[in-house]
Amino acid sequence: MKIPVRLKVNGEIYDVVIAPYRTLVDVLREEIRLIGTKKGCDVGDCGACTVLLDGKPVNACLILAATVQDAEILTIEGLAANGKLHPLQEAFIKEGAVQCGFCVPGILMSLKALLDTNPTPTLEETKWAMAGNLCRCTGYTKMFKAVETATRRT
């Protein structure tokens, strides 16, 4: 039996009717059609589905959509504000930190959460913040560089 669920994503309210066992990543992608959030392993190992729940990075594949109706959800689509890219996004472009791009939405969400609480992280802090995000192109070095660039600017 499907149930009505109300989600607040990137400041917008979305009303969907879904099976109660559907995960947030599936509902974001298949119902709300925000496909920036990626689905990789689906068991919390790869971090591709990372979104911010009340400002904190979490795996959207390990959350039942019906259980986060009171929360503010931020996805990669909500990262740019007023038509302007987030400094992290600009830095990723500038430093060529994107290869295939599949992991990047998740990584940017993890890094946004890091910079929100720690505007000038050390390399070790950046690595720890990204430890739950796998990049199969193994392109971490340029991402670290991009964080450096972004934090110098802000």
Partner 1 sequence: MRFELLLPRSLPEALEMKKTHGEKAGVLAGGTDLLVLLKDQKLKAEVVMSLSGIRELNFIRDEKERGVTLGALATHGSVAASPIIRQQFPDLAEACFQVSCVQIQNLGTVGGNLCNASPAADAAPPLLLADAILILASTRGERSVSIHDFFLAPRQTVLKPDEILKEIFIPEVSGRRGATYLKLGRRRAMEIAIVGVGVAVHLNGSDQVASKCRIALGSVAPTPLRARKAEGILTGQEITDQLIEEAAEVAAKEASPISDIRGGAEYRLDMIRVLCRRAARAALARAQGKQVEV
Residue type present at position 149: T
* 12 sits in which H/E element: strand 12-18
Site size toward partner 1, by CB under 8 A: 30
* Kind of pairing between the strands at 3-9 and 72-74: parallel
Tally DSSP H helices, then E strands, for the chain. 5, 5
One character per residue 52-91, x = contact with partner 1 (rule: CB under 8 A): -x--xxxx--xxx-xxx-x---------------------
The interface region with partner 1, picked from 48-56, 83-91, 95-103, 145-153 by CB under 8 A, is 48-56
Report yes or no: 46 and 134 within 8 Å, Cβ to Cβ. yes
One character per residue 9-38, x = contact with partner 1 (rule: CB under 8 A): ----------xxx-x---------------
DSSP-assigned beta bridge partners for residue 50: 59
143 binds partner 1 (CB under 8 A): no
The interface region with partner 1, picked from 77-85, 87-95, 128-136, 142-150 by CB under 8 A, is 128-136
